Structure 1
Amino acid sequence: MGSTVSDAIRVTHLDQVIDGRDVPGERLIEVRNPGRRDEIVGTVVDGTVDQVDDAVAAAVGASAAWAATAVAERIALLARVGDEIDAHAEELATLVARENGSVRAIIRRELIGAANAFREVGEGLADKLAPQDHPSDAPGQFVRIQKVPYGVVACIVPWNAPLILTANKIAPALAAGNSIVLKPSPFAPLGVTTIGRIAASILPPGVVNVVNGGGEVGSTLTGHRDVRKVSFTGGGETARHIMRQAADSLKGVHFELGGNDPAIVLDDADLQVSVERIVESAFRRAGQVCFAVKRIYVPRTHAEEFRRLLVERVNGITVGDALDERSSMGPVNNEGQLTKIRDLLESTIAQGRDVRVLGSKVNPETWENGYFVLPALVLDAQADDEIVREEQFGPILPVIAYDNEEEAIAMANDTEYGLCSSVWSRSTDRALVVASRIEAGMTIINNHLFSHTGVRQIPFGGWKQSGIGWEGSPHGIDEYLQFHSVDVQSFPETDG
């Protein structure tokens, strides 16, 4: 590859990466700062169908040798990728904050997680991939069970948390011995492409390929007959399209989709701490997180005090440019997202709900030049309100009062989603009982962000329409492995 990571970040024009080479193109995707819409952050090549074919062909060509590479060598190379991400963390944090809109402090933390994903993916991998022999009663006969890679995996990542979601896909896919074709979102392609370039510069040519583009490129990639598995994070409509395509070649799919996460506050919870931690989750990245708190259920007996504390805390949020240290929340990422949030807010106000638009503007004079929106609370939301039933994916948070735990659990489960959830109580035993009845892939007690142990150990994924499969943790690599079993038998002995 011709340019260094520092050069790429400074120039902010990135070509495709196919078979270890930069591949230019005539069409470009222009990336603008969502907080300063007149500022072009950079450009990437808008890929073609032919380039997708070339990228998949390169991955196919590299897959056998990469799968045959010793596990220890694969792990060592991936650890180098993590170290290189660390070496350029400050530059990357600035670049991604400018293209994504999340405040720089959040991107810095995301980069730490991304680098660690590459360094930690090898823990216990040698044992997981070692053949397991099961002896037979007959001499010389046994069954051998192995886990082997699929071959070529397509990895498609969204714009909202692009770096960690990229790392959580490609690190285990590569560690398992697969080659990959990575497609970033057109709304935030620069950081993801840079991560792909780092990996491609360290691993053998063709093992990591990066192709940017819109729907045609994505559809060609996910429908390609030589792609053996698709790992996609994004919306349900796109996932259903990918699943229909996957049926043609019966390829595997892994989906991490949306969530409408409930937070159930019990009557013995510490309300002050609960409010602080709920707000931290709900308004992180301007609410554009799949597993953020999306709806709060609070006992009617405690609702007035909880609302008071919540209003006070949310009113302290400062909204401004992602690089301004005074901003605790940046803009939403794109115009479509802004329109959706505004429409939802207006329809909720039209219902006559008690909507509080809170927080403050860091630079009011530049407000119209970005996709900015102040945080809002719906303090008297009802279970059937659109703001409660739909994933808002923005900085609007409804509060629903309940009369008893049975009612709270029933309302929490009354959704097509089942990603994450949280239960808030001073009694761990009581919280565990409630948690066991929530229909979700993950539940956190007294927080809605994972602990350090949770980040390392919890398989991330959801039930119902929140996804298929799991990523992260020691179990996540299983998404990129398949069984190969050998039943060793012998010929009967014969005379002479």
Structure 2
Amino acid sequence: MRDPGRRTEIVGLAGMIAPSTLDAVVSAATRAQPAWERLGPDYRADILDRIADLLDNVEIGLVETLTRENGSILGVSRNELLAAARIFRYTAEHTRAALSSPEFHSSGGVELHLQRKPFGVVGCIVPWNAPVILAAQKLAPALAAGNAVILKPSPFSPLVVTALIERMASLLPAGLVSVIHGDADVGNALVMHPGVRMVSFTGGGSTAKAIMRSAAETLVHLHFELGGNDPAIVLADADIPGVACSIVEHAFRRAGQVCYAIKRVYVPRDSLSEFVDAAVSRIEEISVGHGLDSRSTMGPVNNRAQFERIRSLHRKLSAAEVPVVTAGRKVDPESWDEGFYLLPALVVDAPPLSAVVLEEQFGPILPIVGYDDLDEAVALANNTEFGLASSVWSSDVSRASEVAGRIEAGITFVNGHALTPVAQQYAPFGGVKQSGMGWENSRAGLGEYLEYHSVHVVQPAQ
């Protein structure tokens, strides 16, 4: 795998498996799972806490490798590992609270025991943009529930996830967690394997549809966290300059390559110029360069497909004479062409039904749409197939909360657009419409990896 900021440099190698060798991996997981389940939820929660400690204390070398394989800046990579540690700790807490005491009911000589049981072997497929966090969101609840896990990372960022799971292995039974590397054929083999009882996937909608077609062969249980095209609605009473700066920070995090980053902004038309001016001023402070360079505040996009997609958007907007403002600083102009570097851009007064607004860009380009009526803005925000996250910005929190309730999304932020630790712990994260099936984080996320088993006992007549 190559460094997206220095494309001539190889960061590391990951050995791809042939789909035909998957049988051995599934067999090892199948053998390890029952004993892991019998150890009980409290024991499993203790192991999750120890994994969290491991993630809290990784050496700088792994942080640097994560930066080099997916293009994030160094601080973002370090925070990713810390966030993953929190996911394991929160999941341990939910496990003790939710699973330590099975639910029991009795009445008139009838007993009902409600048990939660693991699926068995779970296949997890994660993308490249935040590989450690996204792996943790699947590994932690799957293991806590008593499952074995086979994880397939993206070929664009396989190294750190693999290294961390190798370290976790010392805390886990042999064969309980495995990592497999490969292309779409390997992923398809994992989905279709008869020994895999559940598949959890984070990624794009087209791949999810392909997984659903393959899953029809075995009727495997599916769990999806898919793309988003998150709207931000700015109300007329908002502090326009301050809000513009905050929205820029949330939109261009990881060069816009975050499933729930702000990807379109609706601004009152009479505030549009003020918003754009403030946003451009903030973008001019962004320094784009390699993630290991301390001067960089934004890295490259991860791969050529994303790079070409954003460049294609620029060309189409230029041909349609839609104003695009590009700003920011090149950290190392002489080496700019060695990586997938793009300066952040604003699409000014973007047509509300244009492709750059209705489709997820997943890169450093942000359309700003002017609106004349708030009801119109809400309707436009809901007018896509996506519904992952969203945000409302206002000086009146009560009014903003009322508007938030009208948005079709899995989560809506008010005066922010990021998962705080409290939200990461307690808020179910996922999407509506074509942004997902099921939830991650919180007790709801743990529940996705469990099945119900009701034991109904009728006492014999005396």
Q: Sort the TM-score into its range (normalised by shorter chain).
A: over 0.9
Per-residue CA shift, 1:304-343, capped at 9, x if unaligned?
1111101111121110001001011000001111011100
Contact 1:422–1:443 (Cα < 8 Å) also in 2? yes
Could you tell me which of 301, 319, 327 is aligned with 1:358?
327
Q: Report the count of equivalent residues.
A: 461
Residue of structure 2 in register with 1:117 after alignment: 87
2:189 aligned with 1:220: yes
Residue of structure 1 in register with 2:103 after alignment: 132
Residues in 2 aligned to 1:164 and 1:195: alpha-carbon distance in whole angstroms: 12
Could you tell me which of 8, 14, 38 is aligned with 1:44?
14
**Distance change in 2, residues 1:265/1:89 (3 Å):** farther
Residue of structure 2 in register with 1:412 after alignment: 381
Could you tell me which of 244, 255, 266 is aligned with 1:275?
244
Residue of structure 1 in register with 2:427 after alignment: 458
Residue of structure 2 in register with 1:397 after alignment: 366
Residues in 2 aligned to 1:307 and 1:272: alpha-carbon distance in whole angstroms: 9
Per-residue CA shift, 1:114-151, capped at 9, x if unaligned?
1121222111423422221110212xx31111111110
2:39 aligned with 1:62: no
> SS at the partner of 1:174?
helix
Residues in 2 aligned to 1:185 and 1:51: alpha-carbon distance in whole angstroms: 19
* Partner amino acid, structure 1, of 2:455: V
Per-residue CA shift, 1:378-397, capped at 9, x if unaligned?
11201111100110000000
Pairs within 5 Å for 1:53-92: 53-92=23-62
> SS at the partner of 1:450?
coil
Could you tell me which of 76, 96, 99 is aligned with 2:69?
99
Residue of structure 1 in register with 2:298 after alignment: 329
* Partner amino acid, structure 2, of 1:82: A
Paired-residue identity, %: 51
How far is the alpha carbon of 1:224 from its aligned partner? 0.8
How far is the alpha carbon of 1:89 from its aligned partner? 4.5
Which deviates more, 463-472 or 114-123? 114-123
Contact 1:47–1:217 (Cα < 8 Å) also in 2? yes
Structure 1 stretches of at least 4 aligned residues deviating more than 6 Å after TM superposition: none
How far is the alpha carbon of 1:252 from its aligned partner? 0.8
Residues in 1 aligned to 2:158 and 2:370: alpha-carbon distance in whole angstroms: 41
Residues in 2 aligned to 1:293 and 1:124: alpha-carbon distance in whole angstroms: 29
Residues in 1 aligned to 2:419 and 2:58: alpha-carbon distance in whole angstroms: 26
Contact 1:89–1:108 (Cα < 8 Å) also in 2? no
2:288 aligned with 1:319: yes
Residues in 2 aligned to 1:273 and 1:76: alpha-carbon distance in whole angstroms: 43
Contact 1:51–1:211 (Cα < 8 Å) also in 2? no
* Partner amino acid, structure 2, of 1:315: E
Residues in 2 aligned to 1:367 and 1:433: alpha-carbon distance in whole angstroms: 45
Residue of structure 2 in register with 1:255 after alignment: 224
Per-residue CA shift, 1:226-260, capped at 9, x if unaligned?
11110000011111111112222211111011000
How far is the alpha carbon of 1:350 from its aligned partner? 1.0
Contact 1:37–1:369 (Cα < 8 Å) also in 2? yes
2:157 aligned with 1:188: yes
Contact 1:297–1:401 (Cα < 8 Å) also in 2? yes
Residues in 2 aligned to 1:126 and 1:69: alpha-carbon distance in whole angstroms: 13
Contact 1:123–1:474 (Cα < 8 Å) also in 2? no
* Partner amino acid, structure 2, of 1:479: E
* Partner amino acid, structure 2, of 1:100: N
**Normalised by the size of structure 2, how large is the TM-score?**
0.98
**Normalised by the size of structure 1, how large is the TM-score?**
0.91
Pairs within 5 Å for 1:137-216: 137-138=108-109, 141-216=110-185
Residue of structure 2 in register with 1:439 after alignment: 408
**Distance change in 2, residues 1:405/1:89 (3 Å):** farther
Residues in 2 aligned to 1:289 and 1:128: alpha-carbon distance in whole angstroms: 30
> SS at the partner of 2:135?
helix
* Partner amino acid, structure 2, of 1:335: R
Residues in 1 aligned to 2:459 and 2:53: alpha-carbon distance in whole angstroms: 49
> SS at the partner of 2:114?
strand
* Partner amino acid, structure 2, of 1:79: D
